């Protein structure tokens, strides 16, 4: 396969080595010295704060222990009614599972509130817990490179270019252990509401726990990638988590294929939205 100049630039941004028979001087140098420079620190995009809303308090109160079922059937319904500011407030005050005890802070999400692309990761790590933003550190830099390859960004930009990024869990599991099912279940209404508010044209689910939460599937990423799924009607593409790719660089090429599929689906969704808008105007 012969890569176009644009595709070669995109692959270089992701640090993907080219195996295709392209001209020698056009092949990305896989040596560490040729790796793309780390992306500049992303703009810390925040939604504007608002006064406390009654629903926020109701949504954040719950059992503080994973041993206490404390299920409140009204909690998910309350969260489903929240606008952005009270939703953020509810997450910040949430004690619905035991993860609240060891967190430094919750990690809500960043990006355009009406982004066309929504990126869903897994759970905050040490740096995210410290900084309050998802996907920071080396995995975040790789994600930024992947986004840049698609002409997307987490920094301030129009909805078609600026993504929205959220994790499945809003609090860091101690010592980065795997999330427990009950923790994921109690946190899920927050992510659901974020997706409802953003109403993205495409969801990119990165990593096993994001996929489990959104697709209710225990199948490995390798079995689920390469096809278009749906989450509440929104097209969803599955790919590897950037932290996994840092440990398994050979899978970056597969991840690139996933990004191309996601870009194609997002383009089709945008064309359909434009056609529908034109029909309305006619």
Residues that bind ligand SF4 (CB under 6 A): 91, 94-97, 99-100, 106, 169-171, 183, 186-187
Shorter beta-carbon distance to ligand SF4: residue 62 or 114 = 62
Mind spelling out the 3-state secondary structure of 118-182? EEEECCCCHHHHHHCCCCCHHHHHHHHHHHHHCCCECCCCCCCCECEEEECCCCCCHHHCCCCHH
Q: If DSSP codes are grouped into helix, strand and coil, which group holds residue 57?
A: helix
Cα separation values, 232 from 188, 193, 215, 236, 254, Å: 14, 12, 10, 10, 26
Closest approach of ligand SF4 to the CB of residue 169, in Å:
5
Closest approach of ligand SF4 to the CB of residue 133, in Å:
15
Shorter beta-carbon distance to ligand SF4: residue 74 or 233 = 74
Shorter beta-carbon distance to ligand SF4: residue 112 or 186 = 186
Q: Are 187 and 169 in contact (CB under 8 A)?
A: yes
Closest approach of ligand SF4 to the CB of residue 196, in Å:
17
Closest approach of ligand SF4 to the CB of residue 149, in Å:
31
Shorter beta-carbon distance to ligand SF4: residue 39 or 82 = 82
Cα gap 95→114, rounded to integer Å: 28
C-alpha 125, offset from chain centre = 14
Closest approach of ligand SF4 to the CB of residue 96, in Å:
4
The upper half-sphere exposure of residue 276, i.e. CA atoms within 13 Å in the direction of its Cβ, equals 6
Closest approach of ligand SF4 to the CB of residue 200, in Å:
21
Shorter beta-carbon distance to ligand SF4: residue 99 or 261 = 99
Strand arrangement, sheet containing 234-239? 110-111, 164-167, 117-121, 202-206, 234-239, 229-231
Shorter beta-carbon distance to ligand SF4: residue 91 or 152 = 91
């Amino acid at each position: 396969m012969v890569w176009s100049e644009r595709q070669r630039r995109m692959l270089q941004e992701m640090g993907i080595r080219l195996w295709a028979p392209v001209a020698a001087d056009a092949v990305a140098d896989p040596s560490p010295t040729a790796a793309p420079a780390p992306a500049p620190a992303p703009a810390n995009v925040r939604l504007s704060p608002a006064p406390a809303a009654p629903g926020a308090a109701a949504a954040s109160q719950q059992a503080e222990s994973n041993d206490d079922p404390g299920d409140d059937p009204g909690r998910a319904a309350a969260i489903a009614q929240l606008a952005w500011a009270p939703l953020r407030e509810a997450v910040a005050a949430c004690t619905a599972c035991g993860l609240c005890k060891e967190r430094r802070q919750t990690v809500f999400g960043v990006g355009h509130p009406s982004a066309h692309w929504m990126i869903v990761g897994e759970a905050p790590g040490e740096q995210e817990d410290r900084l309050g933003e998802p996907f920071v550190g080396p995995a975040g830099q790789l994600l930024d490179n992947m986004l840049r390859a698609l002409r997307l960004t987490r920094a301030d930009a129009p909805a078609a270019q600026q993504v929205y990024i959220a994790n499945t869990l809003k609090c860091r599991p101690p010592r980065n252990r795997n999330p427990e099912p009950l923790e994921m279940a109690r946190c899920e209404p927050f992510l659901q509401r974020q997706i409802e508010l953003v109403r993205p044209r495409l969801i990119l689910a990165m990593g096993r726990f994001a996929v489990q939460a959104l697709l209710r599937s225990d199948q490995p990423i390798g079995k689920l990638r390469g096809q278009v799924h749906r989450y509440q009607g929104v097209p969803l593409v599955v790919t590897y988590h950037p932290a996994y790719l840092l440990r398994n660089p050979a899978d970056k090429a597969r991840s690139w294929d996933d990004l191309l599929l996601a870009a194609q689906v997002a383009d089709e969704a945008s064309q359909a939205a434009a056609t529908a808008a034109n029909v309305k105007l006619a």
